[in-house]
């Protein structure tokens, strides 16, 4: 896919891997929607970095675990840029719990991690799919983790949620 003049949505795009991805895509001519949940200042800084280099970008707030917020974000992005060609599902959360501490892996922890890490990726993919289908092209990249393969990581629920991301990716493909 030729990236110049495409539009990309990067969830969790204001920090870390998301910021690096946003900047790299912008350097290749992609207009970027920098999604954030809580880190507005970081997302706006990423937008400024892109614009300072002549790129196009906006920051949009949405909690990806909330389907209505995802739908609203995608509608706003399409109103601004006319399309979405790329989705980088990068938004993710974790809880640091020793692997042997099963009691601390509460229902709330499981729900929070799965809602963001797995369901959030699905909500975003579902929301952008009609635009990609309409244009007969598109790409979705789901950022997983080695934890999803090894079963190790910051917590048991995190590792399992990342295994879910890998399964979601295969099923969507």
Q: Is 123 annotated as catalytic? A: no
DSSP letter, residue 115: I
Residue 123 makes CB contacts below 8 A (sequence gap 6+) with: 64, 65, 66, 67, 70, 71
Cα torsion 81, 11, 41, 22 to 10°: value is -70
Rounded-to-integer distance, Cα 120 and Cα 87, Å? 12
Rounded-to-integer distance, Cα 17 and Cα 35, Å? 13
Residue 148 makes CB contacts below 8 A (sequence gap 6+) with: 159, 160, 161, 162, 163, 164, 165, 166
Of 36, 123, 131, 158, which is the active-site residue? Answer: 158
Q: Are 171 and 140 in contact (CB under 8 A)?
A: no
Catalytic residues: 158
């Amino acid at each position: 896919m030729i990236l110049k003049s495409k539009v990309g949505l990067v969830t969790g795009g204001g920090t870390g891997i998301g910021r690096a991805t946003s900047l790299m895509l912008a350097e290749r001519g992609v207009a970027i929607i920098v999604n954030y949940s809580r880190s507005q200042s970081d997302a706006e800084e990423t937008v400024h970095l892109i614009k300072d280099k002549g790129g196009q970008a906006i920051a949009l707030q949405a909690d990806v675990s909330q389907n209505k917020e995802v739908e609203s974000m995608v509608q706003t992005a399409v109103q601004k840029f006319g399309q979405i060609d790329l989705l980088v599902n990068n938004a993710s959360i974790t809880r640091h719990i020793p692997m042997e501490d099963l009691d601390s892996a509460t229902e709330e922890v499981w729900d929070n991690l799965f809602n963001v890490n797995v369901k959030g990726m699905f909500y975003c993919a579902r929301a952008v799919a009609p635009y990609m289908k309409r244009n007969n092209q598109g790409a979705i990249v789901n950022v997983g983790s080695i934890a999803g393969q090894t079963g190790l990581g910051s917590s048991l629920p995190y590792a399992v949620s990342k295994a879910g991301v890998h399964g979601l990716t295969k099923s969507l493909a």
